[in-house]
Structures are given as C-alpha cells and as structure tokens.
Structure 1
Amino acid sequence: MKLSLLRAARAALVIPVMLLMGTAAQAEKIRIALAETPSDELAAFFVALDRAKANGLDYEWTAFSDEELAIQAVLSGQMDIGFGTPYAAMQRSKAPLRIVFQLSKLKFFPVTSKAYDKLEDLNGEPILLHSRGGGTDSIANVIEARMGMEFGERSYVPGSSNRVAALLGGRADATIIDLSNKNKLMRSDAGENFNVLEMFDVEASDEALFANFNWIQENEEAVNIFVEALVSTYRDMHEDPTIIRRETNPDGPIGQLPGEILAELDGFYSDAVEAGLYDPDGGGRKAAQADMEWYAAAGQLVGDPAELDIEDFWYLAPLDKAKN
C-alpha cells in the first residue's frame, strides 16, 4: 500500500524470499507474510529482524503483492505472522487472530490540484484511492462520516507513487497518499501545483503485526524476542532516526535497494518520527482503542466501539513484557 516514488515497478505477483538465520528460538522458523516488497518504509522492520536474529530468532519471510493476500496466508496457516489490519477478518473468521504490535499509523494525506482548498470542496468529486476496502478507502469513509459529505466516483490505483503519477499526468485531481510521497511531491518543482488539504489526526493502525492466537501461545519465546526487538528499534529510532540507516545490513534486502532510496533513509525516518508515523511503544492499548473507533466508523468492524473488547483483537502480553 505504501510505495515511494522510486518503487513504481514493484512486482505484482508473490515474491518469496527465504532468509535462513542463526540459532532457532523455537524448533522451527517463524514464517512472516509481508504485505509489500522490501522498501524504505520496511527498513526499520528489517533492522528489528536483525536484532531479533542476534537474540536467536530463526525466521523466513515472503513478500505478497497486497495486504489481503498476506492476511489469507496467515488464515490458511501458510504463514505464521502477517502484516495488515485484519479487523473484518477477525470478526468473520473462526480463526483467533490477534495483533501484537502496531507497525505504523494511518498517516495519509489528501492531495489535490489547486481546484480544491479544503476537504468539503471534494463533496461529490471523484477521488483516486489505493484499493477497495483498504486503508485509503477507510480514510475516505471516515472523512465522509465526519464531514457530512460524500465523494463522487472512487477509482483505485495501488501504490502512492502511482497515484502521484496520475496527479502529475492530469489523470486525477484528488487522491490520498502516504507521508513519503506527499513530502517528495510537495518538495518537487511540481509541488506548487498541488494542495495538501488539512486532515484530522489519526492514531489508528495502518499496518500491524498479527498472528493466530494459538500459534502465539505455542511460540511464546519467539514472539517475545520479535516484539522486544521491535520495541527497542522503534525507541532507538525516536531518539535518533539515523540509526535505521546505520544498522541496515548492506547485504540484506534493504541494503540491496537502489542507492537513491538508501540515501534518503535519514530524511524519511526523520520526517516519519516528526509526523508521528511510528509509536515508540508499539501502539498497545491506546492504538487498540483507536482502531476500534476508526475501523467501526470505516465499516470494517461491526458493533459499538465502546462495547468492543480490545482483547478480542489484540494480545498485549508480549508488548507489556517488552516495555518493562
């Protein structure tokens, strides 16, 4: 869902990549389902994986072409841990899925041509989004509910960079894009041709790490190592965003990205920390409650958010242990 301007050529098919690591924390490797190919926005995650490896975690990862495929891979048992916010699947499925860590917040930005100055101006106007039922679709739903308005025709183009290209090419006048692409567009020579519309603050999860609760209990040691590595990485990143570039393995999947992307890691993570994209404590109860409210308003959870039990969706023990 989140791609930089330099990643428009992402493969559309599943890309399996196996990393065989060190001494196993459990009898078998944990299998991780990514919802996109390795990118600058996954650099912090891979730094955390390297820290977990140093503490004995054995894992392999597979990059799926979108979040829904990653969710289905965990539901089917093909993968153990996945990327996504599978709240609708949690309510529909008999599989006891639980979130253990908030990887990023829904920090997306409505960007338009100069024809629009505020969100209300988009009432009845067409908008370009990532995917039906995805994060930008839920943002559009909540904007409509909060602003008492309704967008016109919704069209879907995966990848923020591709939607930026549509803006630049005059094929769209309004879209919702991620922090990285918003900053790159507005800092470019073409930035003066576009407006970033004022948006209400969102604490809800865009990407989270989730797994089957039964699997979590059977692999408690590995999950604890993983979550502890994520917490330490996110906290260090908030102290000094340049640590992500400095700890990125040059021989790993992020280190193999084009030099132009690697050169921007410090700027990307500095911007992301300043914008509040990442919670240094992994979200926890605050994120879980924000998710209840957001995804209920977005139509992906059924029921009164005040009456939904966050422990039906989150398993907080590993995060509580890591923060102590």
Structure 2
Amino acid sequence: MRNFVKTIAQTALAAPLALAVSFSGAQAETLRIALAETPSDELAAFFVALDRAKANGLDYEWTAFSDEELAIQAILSGQMDIGFGTPYSAMQRSRAPIRIIFQLSKLKFFPVAVKEYTDLSQLDGKPIMLHSRGGGTDSIANVIEDRMGIELGERSYVPGSSNRVVAMLAGQAEATILDLSNKNKIIAEAGDRFNVLPMFDVDASDEALFANLDWIQENEDQVNILVAALVSVWQDVAKDPTIVSRETNPDGPIGQLPAEILAQLDGFYTEAVAGGLYDPNGGGRTAAMADLEWYAASGQLDGDPSELNIDDFWYMAPLDAATK
C-alpha cells in the first residue's frame, strides 16, 4: 500500500488550494508534474502510466492547478517540470524553449445545446460556455466560427466539463462544449432537453505533455522513463480498454474517486478508444502537423502552418526512443 504525502501548494501561480502528492523512488530528483485539473476518469490512464514509471524508478509529484493557463505559467516560471495542456501560443511568443513530448488525447469534444438547436450554424450570435480562455474548447469555438461562417455570442468560462454539465442542467447556459464522458452524462440525464450537435472531425491535440527543452535534455533519463510508460499504457489501452480499471491503484488518487465513476471506467475507455481519443504512439509527427494546422486556424499560432517547423514545438527524441 502506498503512503501518500499530501501538501498544499500555495504560490503566486498556483490555485489557492492545489493538491500536491509525491512518491519516493530510485531517482535522485523529483519530477514535478503540473496537472490542469483535479484527478478524474480522464486522467486514470495517465495515473496507471505513473504507477508503471514509478516501478521503473521514477520519483514524481503532481500538483493540480485550477486551469491550463496556471499549469503553463508554472512551467514557464520553472515552478514545475512537466505540464498538461497545448501551449502553442506560449511556445511561439515565449523566450523559453517549451516543447511537447507526448499527445495525451485528441480534441474529441462535442457541442451540446438546448433542444431548439440542431446544427452548429444556429449558434450564430448565441452565447457559449467554454472551459478556459485560450484552451482547447476556446480553439474549437474559433474553428467552428471559421468553418461555419458564423460568429458566436459572448463566451463565458467554466473550467471542467462536469461543472459545465451542472450549469447546463441548471439552465445557466444554452450551449457548451463537453468531453466524451460528460456529453454522455448530460444526454443520459436530460436527453429530452439537450442535443449533441454534429461536429467535424478533429485530430489535433487536446491535452499534451510539455516541458522546457533545456530541462528535458538535462533530465533525459526521467523523461524517457515517463514517456516509455505512457506509450506502454496507451498501446495496452488500444488493445484492451479495461486495463485501466484493472491497474488502477485503489489507494491512489483515481482509486479514491466516487464508486459510480470507477464503475464507469471500462465504459469510458472503451468509448474513448472507439472514438479515436488516443493515439497508441503518442501522436508524434502526425499530431504535430495536425496541431499546427488546427491552432493556426484557431488563432493561437501566427503564420502559415506549412511554413512552421514542428521541431519548434515538439521534441521527438523521447517518443522516438519509446516507439522503436
């Protein structure tokens, strides 16, 4: 059984109550991971990978920040080592050599609206509720406007798909963008009130792991252990989605989630794999090219994506080593 050492991170960049959990291992240095949300079913596979990495000698701790922007700032400041997010704008505009090393998930999100709306074009001028300013759902909204030739109304920001479900059920918004599990949840609970609007296919990254290139190269052993563990889990999940529930540590952060969420892990990962949410090989160059096209179209990258260099945004060496 694991012994948890829990502390409260109270810094200028962190959320007021961000939970940090550290584990002891064979490595001399502790890998500091900045999550962009609290542990949830969507992070269960990642925590399985952390368990495998720990078994191979990785010492790590994680901190849950309240949104992606805080996680990005924590990496830029050196407060944390590896972060969750898709910081393309920050990578292009920051002097820090930030690079992505692994695609955790693709942008498989679903526009959900009250029953009177049946098509994305009907959202022209209508307010929409999103996750965070500059994040994945914000970029989806930008591309919806571009592809549909519409202009969405006022954007409000409520971090966490589950929180947006609560707001929709309470009648506080008419349209939002949800992840797979929460799209299923709201339709199961109130399918008579809401529609899932038809959405075009997207292969770009929703969540990715990123770090400062200098730090990556100085801590190559740690990074390689983590990326190899992620590849092993993502490939196993592609073959058998139930591996996540079977390997989830009951005493870990995912194992402590409510029983009703744990009971749905197999269903969530089965649907996620069928829906193409995960690339078994961590994205790599295919994801990098899709990202440049998507984030340029969404307004988070400047320039023609065909003229941008993926090596300015991704560092492929750890992934190449893990997928040989």
TM-score by length of 1: 0.93
1:142-186 Cα offsets, whole Å, 9 max, x none, are: 001111111122222222222222222222221111111001111
1:145 aligned partner? 146
1:310 aligned partner? 310
1:125 aligned partner? 126
1:208 aligned partner? 208
Q: CA deviation at 1:12?
A: 6.1
Alignment pair present for 1:16 and 2:38? no
- Give aligned pairs, total: 311
1:3 aligned partner? none
TM-score by length of 2: 0.93
Q: CA deviation at 1:18?
A: 2.6
1:9-31 Cα offsets, whole Å, 9 max, x none, are: xx96342323222211xx31111
The separation in 2 between residues aligned to 1:125 and 1:193, in whole angstroms, is: 17
1:281-309 Cα offsets, whole Å, 9 max, x none, are: 10000110111011111111111000000
CA gap of 1:294–1:28, structure 2 versus 1, over 3 A, is same
1:54 aligned partner? 55
The question of whether the paired residues in 1 share the 8 Å contact of 2:26 and 2:58 is answered with yes
1:89 aligned partner? 90
Which secondary structure state, in structure 1, belongs to the residue aligned with residue 112 of structure 2? strand
Structure 2 residues without counterparts, runs of 5 or longer: 1-13
The percentage of aligned residue pairs carrying the same residue is 75
Alignment pair present for 1:320 and 2:323? no
1:29 aligned partner? 30
Structure 1 ranges of 4+ moved more than 3 A:
11-14
The question of whether the paired residues in 1 share the 8 Å contact of 2:97 and 2:214 is answered with yes
The separation in 1 between residues aligned to 2:78 and 2:312, in whole angstroms, is: 20
Which secondary structure state, in structure 2, belongs to the residue aligned with residue 71 of structure 1? helix
2:69 aligned partner? 68
The separation in 2 between residues aligned to 1:59 and 1:156, in whole angstroms, is: 31
Give 1:109-120 correspondences, 5 Å limit.
109-120=110-121
2:220 aligned partner? 220
The separation in 1 between residues aligned to 2:241 and 2:302, in whole angstroms, is: 38
The separation in 2 between residues aligned to 1:271 and 1:12, in whole angstroms, is: 32
**Matched residue type, 1:308:** L
Q: Give RMSD over aligned pairs.
A: 1.3
The separation in 2 between residues aligned to 1:172 and 1:205, in whole angstroms, is: 26
1:254 aligned partner? 254
Structure 1 residues without counterparts, runs of 5 or longer: 1-10
1:180-237 Cα offsets, whole Å, 9 max, x none, are: 100111122x212211111001111111000110111111111111100000000001
2:292 aligned partner? 292
The separation in 2 between residues aligned to 1:20 and 1:152, in whole angstroms, is: 46
